[in-house]
Chain A
């Protein structure tokens, strides 16, 4: 039985580089159970890379990752399967399988991980309920290509929660990217309700400061491979650090403007 006070996910001294480009530099992070942690930062600062490390899609060059106290960065792909059954990932591009209908997409994690426990009818029933949670009942037999951006995102969220038992952690990579403000609001509320009602721990990577403030219990700012701010959203949004301030207010860095102004 995991210790409830222990961080559900912990990154210790994690570094990652792609060739000569250093993306993460000795990152230390403890994700608390049952809360939404939001990571913001400029494009290309390694937010998605960090998320992919958590679920073992990338391996750190240095440091270690722990899930419920167990080190997972050194596990083989097959040994990672039980961990991945507890951590769901909502991808930035949704990653719905084009060759499957909505219901088959949502059923996929349960079909893949049932190990004889669930029959087809039960899986279909659970998948329909997950679609109900995201407000897409009646979309079962549609194809991903027939859906709008917001609907696809919600199907991706439905697929993320479609596990029996439900996932302990959901990782959201840019959940509101490309959505209009109203659709973004729907997704934000969905993330919040999953955390409150299903007690799912959320790790959200986003550029959207409004979304960050709405869904986050804790907000971190990733900058040049490390965190420069960490705290409750209201506190971070009011931070005096000029880099954080500029990012929060959406003001470009003078170095970025140099090419424009000459």
Chain B
């Protein structure tokens, strides 16, 4: 009898957790739908732009130095790690092309996304979480203002639009950093570095990287706002929400990178075949 009760309790616990997880999943997508539903009206009103532009400044402009430094160091490190092998094979001149493909298509968007999730995403969750626990979200509602429209939609839009732009900065600085180490440290030739870069890096690589960054930006905006809106009370609740926001954004960025990689490679194959045909 005792054993049967324990078993029933365990099954009930698993069931309750599954229902809870499903409910949270549903709540997240309702939240997403609400954010998206407010985008047109926010973009069509002056007040919407007044809310959006400060977020663009905070999420975009203030992140530029960090993103540029990250991009630059990625380029530098890739040259440091790859130069010896490429030089041994007599292919050192081609290193610029390889490094810049990696930066434009893969590392630039991913690391810009991760940096943004840490810098802006964490701050967004902390800000919204604090507003939540200090009743500011309730105050907005009590005054007839929708907190999702006022707070989440502008932040989401800023993340969505600015992540690709920041990725461009990361890409440019990555190329510059790679060139600096290639020429300054390994005494490589500038001309072949840029010539192979121009030859090997296709528009598709740049486009793929920017498409990825668009998805990463959307993920950062949605996750950080949702976690802020749904954090538990108290300082510990806000702290926990920030941690969860970063970890979840990071994991989602890596997962999306994998799936978008498959998708974009598939599309490239189709496009390449079509191009050969015409």
Tell me whether A55 is interfacial, beta carbon within 8 Å: yes
Asked if residues A57 and B144 are in contact (CB atoms below 8 Å), the reply is: no
Asked if residues A95 and B134 are in contact (CB atoms below 8 Å), the reply is: yes
Tell me whether A109 is interfacial, beta carbon within 8 Å: yes
Asked if residues B146 and A89 are in contact (CB atoms below 8 Å), the reply is: no
Tell me whether A108 is interfacial, beta carbon within 8 Å: yes
Asked if residues A112 and B143 are in contact (CB atoms below 8 Å), the reply is: yes
Asked if residues A93 and B143 are in contact (CB atoms below 8 Å), the reply is: no
Asked if residues A95 and B144 are in contact (CB atoms below 8 Å), the reply is: no
In the assembled complex, how far is the CB of residue B146 from the closest CB belonging to chain A, in whole angstroms? 7
Asked if residues A80 and B138 are in contact (CB atoms below 8 Å), the reply is: no
Asked if residues B134 and A80 are in contact (CB atoms below 8 Å), the reply is: no
Q: Which residues of B contact A98 (CB under 8 A)?
A: 130-131, 136
Asked if residues B135 and A92 are in contact (CB atoms below 8 Å), the reply is: yes
Tell me whether B183 is interfacial, beta carbon within 8 Å: no
Q: Which residues of A contact B146 (CB under 8 A)?
A: 77
Q: Which size bracket describes the interface of A in this complex?
A: 20 to 34
* Interface positions of A from 96 to 115, Cβ below 8 Å from B: 96-98, 108-109, 112-113
Per-position 1/0 for B130-155, Cβ under 8 A of A = 11001110110111111000000000
Q: Which residues of A contact B130 (CB under 8 A)?
A: 98
Partner pick for A81 among B131, B134, B135, B144, CB 8 A cutoff: B144
Partner pick for A57 among B134, B136, B142, CB 8 A cutoff: B142
Per-position 1/0 for A185-218, Cβ under 8 A of B = 0000000000000000000000000000000000
Per-position 1/0 for B112-146, Cβ under 8 A of A = 00000000000000000011001110110111111
Partner pick for B145 among A52, A92, A93, A112, CB 8 A cutoff: A112
Please, how many angstroms separate the alpha-carbon atoms of A89 and B139 in the complex?
7
Tell me whether A84 is interfacial, beta carbon within 8 Å: yes
Please, how many angstroms separate the alpha-carbon atoms of A57 and B138 in the complex?
7
Asked if residues B145 and A95 are in contact (CB atoms below 8 Å), the reply is: no
**Closest residue to A83 on the B side, CB-wise?**
B144
Please, how many angstroms separate the alpha-carbon atoms of A220 and B138 in the complex?
25
Most chain B beta carbons < 10 A, residue from A77, A95, A108: A95
Asked if residues B142 and A84 are in contact (CB atoms below 8 Å), the reply is: yes
Asked if residues B143 and A109 are in contact (CB atoms below 8 Å), the reply is: yes
Q: Which residues of B contact A93 (CB under 8 A)?
A: 134-135
Q: Which residues of A contact B135 (CB under 8 A)?
A: 91-93, 95
Tell me whether A85 is interfacial, beta carbon within 8 Å: yes
**Closest residue to A51 on the B side, CB-wise?**
B142
Asked if residues A84 and B144 are in contact (CB atoms below 8 Å), the reply is: yes
**Closest residue to A89 on the B side, CB-wise?**
B142
Q: Which residues of B contact A85 (CB under 8 A)?
A: 144
In the assembled complex, how far is the CB of residue A99 from the closest CB belonging to chain B, in whole angstroms? 8
Please, how many angstroms separate the alpha-carbon atoms of A80 and B141 in the complex?
10
In the assembled complex, how far is the CB of residue A18 from the closest CB belonging to chain B, in whole angstroms? 13
In the assembled complex, how far is the CB of residue B229 from the closest CB belonging to chain A, in whole angstroms? 15
**Closest residue to B142 on the A side, CB-wise?**
A89
Asked if residues A112 and B138 are in contact (CB atoms below 8 Å), the reply is: no
Partner pick for A84 among B131, B134, B136, B143, CB 8 A cutoff: B143
Q: Which residues of B contact A57 (CB under 8 A)?
A: 138, 141-142
Q: Which residues of B contact A113 (CB under 8 A)?
A: 143-144
Please, how many angstroms separate the alpha-carbon atoms of A64 and B277 in the complex?
70
**Closest residue to A87 on the B side, CB-wise?**
B142
Please, how many angstroms separate the alpha-carbon atoms of A55 and B143 in the complex?
9
Please, how many angstroms separate the alpha-carbon atoms of A9 and B143 in the complex?
18
In the assembled complex, how far is the CB of residue A220 from the closest CB belonging to chain B, in whole angstroms? 22
**Closest residue to B143 on the A side, CB-wise?**
A109
Asked if residues B138 and A91 are in contact (CB atoms below 8 Å), the reply is: yes
Q: Which residues of A contact B143 (CB under 8 A)?
A: 84, 88, 108-109, 112-113
In the assembled complex, how far is the CB of residue A93 from the closest CB belonging to chain B, in whole angstroms? 5
**Closest residue to A162 on the B side, CB-wise?**
B143
Please, how many angstroms separate the alpha-carbon atoms of A206 and B123 in the complex?
35
Q: Which residues of A contact B134 (CB under 8 A)?
A: 93, 95
Q: Which residues of B contact A109 (CB under 8 A)?
A: 143-144
In the assembled complex, how far is the CB of residue B77 from the closest CB belonging to chain A, in whole angstroms? 38
Nearest 3 pairs of A and B residues by beta carbon: A95-B139, A81-B144, A95-B135
Q: Which residues of A contact B (CB under 8 A)?
A: 52, 55, 57, 77, 80-82, 84-85, 87-89, 91-93, 95-98, 108-109, 112-113
Known contacts A92-B135, A112-B144, then 14 further A-B pairs from the complex at CB < 8 Å, ordered by chain A residue = A81-B144, A85-B144, A88-B142, A89-B138, A91-B139, A95-B135, A96-B136, A97-B136, A98-B130, A98-B136, A108-B143, A109-B144, A112-B145, A113-B144
Q: Which residues of B contact A (CB under 8 A)?
A: 130-131, 134-136, 138-139, 141-146
What are some 10 contacts across the A-B interface (CB < 8 A)?
A55-B142, A80-B144, A84-B144, A87-B142, A88-B142, A91-B138, A91-B139, A93-B135, A95-B135, A98-B130
